[in-house]
Amino acid sequence: AQSVTQLGSHVSVSEGALVLLRCNYSSSVPPYLFWYVQYPNQGLQLLLKYTTGATLVKGINGFEAEFKKSETSFHLTKPSAHMSDAAEYFCAVSDLRAGTALIFGKGTTLSVSS
């Protein structure tokens, strides 16, 4: 069965600092992995996705993630945090039994202080 684990339910950084949000997955087949962002009282927006090919994936708003098969990880990073990055971030893996539906991690709330 597929699953996603996000390490750390809450991450706090200072403006301008590195952002690192951790995600590990479990899958018996090559996974399709996604990061979504949710701003307060809004729906989810896709940040980036990994399907096949290049293991370093660039997304919107300066975020990127690296697929590491040997570590079963897909951590999200951004070199320099901005106040507008404060949101909840979800890592997800495709649920191969359910069309294009996703299995989500429990989420990580990112706080950015000035």
- Out of 18, 46, 60, 83, name the contact with another protein by CB under 8 A: 46
d(CA 103, CA 3): 7
Say whether residue 22 binds another protein (CB under 8 A).
Answer: no
Calculate the CA dihedral of residues 50, 79, 112, 39 and round it to 10 degrees.
-30
Cβ(40)–Cβ(57) under 8 Å?
no
Say whether residue 66 binds another protein (CB under 8 A).
Answer: no
Phi, psi of 61 (to 5 degrees): 60, 25
Size of the site for another protein (CB under 8 A): 25
Phi, psi of 14 (to 5 degrees): -90, 155
CB of 16 to another protein, least distance (A): 29
Which structure tokens are listed for 106?
A: 């429990």
Piece of 14-22, 54-62, 65-73, 92-100 that binds another protein (CB under 8 A):
92-100
Say whether residue 96 binds another protein (CB under 8 A).
Answer: yes
Piece of 12-20, 58-66, 74-82, 100-108 that binds another protein (CB under 8 A):
100-108
Cβ(14)–Cβ(113) under 8 Å?
yes
Say whether residue 54 binds another protein (CB under 8 A).
Answer: no
List contacts with another protein (CB under 8 A).
9, 32, 34, 36, 42-46, 49, 51, 90, 94-96, 98-107
